[in-house]
Amino acid sequence: MNAGQEPDGELLARVFLARVFEPGDEVAGRWVREFGACEVARRVREGQEVSLPGVTGKRWGGLVARGRAAEPDADLRVARDCGVRFVCPGDAEWPGQLDDLGDARPLGLWVRGAPSLRMWALRSVAVVGARACTEYGAHMAATLACGLAEHGWVVVSGGAYGVDGAAHRGALGAGGATVAVLACGVDRPYPPGHTELITRIAAQGLVVGELPPGDHPTPSRFVLRNRVIAALTRGTVVVEAAYRSGSLVTARAAQRLGRHTMGVPGPATSGLSAGVHELLRGDAVLVTDAEEVVELVGDMGELAPDRRGPVLPRDLLPPGVRRVLAALPSRGAATATEVGSGAQTTRDDAIARLYELRSLGYVERHGDGWKLTRQAMIPVRDGRSRC
């Protein structure tokens, strides 16, 4: 809803129901689908009897009690004062891929930040992982996010400590776009230690959540928040995750939704990478940098560069010359006849190749014999570094 615009009945009903139902409540989602948000809100407000199917009297009483405390107009006023808008399904800004969640689709999303959520979500990747990550995990998350941002991709994560925070910072550091999906009201940054980071994300990107202003996070809300991260993006990359990590919930939700699932490998002995390795033993794809992620989630033709060792000068020699060079002993000298025999060629051809190799500095002549030079003997080291 834009500033100064009067809320309509559908929007007010969804804001009201966001106070009544927990995120991801599929029974509530079915009610909204079958009866409409306005009708469901009306029945909860009246609350005289169980008037919706599939719910016990005890639970219905709890929903009605929540409804009595809900004040959608007040929530919208608080949101407006914080620069937050409420985006409903069917709005121009609503990301259509969230509809893949079916009855677990959010009733709406509270959005803090100027960009269009729908446009940013079209080209986005989730980078998630352990809160108590290692330096390696933080480095890989930041490097991946930086590379994705430089390729024009939006980095989505959960705003938590560890991998999430490193991913957000990597994208911001590259001047790129990032979205934090919170498990609480978007007006109250969580965790508190990330207040500055989340404020910066809101200024340069987007902070998104299902819960109304002021609402607090709970363990179940963190888990349910992950389905939004998975549905919002084209794919999920997991950087460090133990067997019981919440980031694996995001990855499995992505798999159920038909999204790409990727993992960054770690040491085989690291418990923090055990969950990632388990994913990689299944349907997840191993990735090591942003180019490999983009190759998977991007458009046709966005291919990662070929990975190979350095090209050595001797690799550029013609095959016949390489065979003669390989026929020379590592120590001592050999005659042209011996070299020709080792290279499976004639003596005259071996002599011609040996003179060619001498001009390139690979061999030298000693009387009737030939031997390798120091240049040919020095091992070539791969001095490349990747950051």
150-170 pLDDT per residue, tens: 999 999 999 999 999 999 999
State both tokens at 286.
């191993």
Please report the pLDDT score of residue 7 as a whole number.
Answer: 66
Confidence of residue 381 (pLDDT cuts 50, 70, 90): very low
- What is the percent of the chain with per-residue pLDDT over 70, rounded to a whole number? 93
Confidence of residue 52 (pLDDT cuts 50, 70, 90): confident
211-242 pLDDT per residue, tens: 999 999 999 999 999 999 999 999 999 999 99
Neighbours of 319 (CB within 10 A): 6
Q: What is the DSSP string of 134-160?
A: -HHHHHHHHHHHHHHHHTTPEEEE---
Nearest 5°: phi and psi at 170? -60, -45
Task: Kindly state the average pLDDT of the residues 352-365.
Answer: 90
State both tokens at 15.
């804001």
State both tokens at 359.
């001009």
Give residue 331's identity as a one-letter amino acid code. Answer: R
Contact 343, 351 (CB under 8 A): no
CA 361/CA 165 separation, integer angstroms: 54
Confidence of residue 374 (pLDDT cuts 50, 70, 90): confident
Give residue 93's identity as a one-letter amino acid code. Answer: E
Run of H or E including 76: helix 72-81
CA 146/CA 175 separation, integer angstroms: 9
CA 157/CA 183 separation, integer angstroms: 11
Q: Tell me which residue has tokens 């919706």.
A: 52
Task: Kindly state the average pLDDT of the residues 185-200.
Answer: 94
C-alpha distances in angstroms, 154 versus 23, 118, 121, 356? 24, 12, 7, 55
Contact 234, 125 (CB under 8 A): yes
Contact 239, 248 (CB under 8 A): no
Confidence of residue 6 (pLDDT cuts 50, 70, 90): low
Domains and CATH numbers, the chain: 113-297 (3.40.50.450), 313-377 (1.10.10.10)
Which residue has better confidence, 191 or 315?
191
245-257 pLDDT per residue, tens: 999 999 999 999 9
294-311 pLDDT per residue, tens: 999 987 455 556 666 666
Confidence of residue 3 (pLDDT cuts 50, 70, 90): very low
Task: Kindly state the average pLDDT of the residues 354-377.
Answer: 87
Contact 112, 87 (CB under 8 A): no
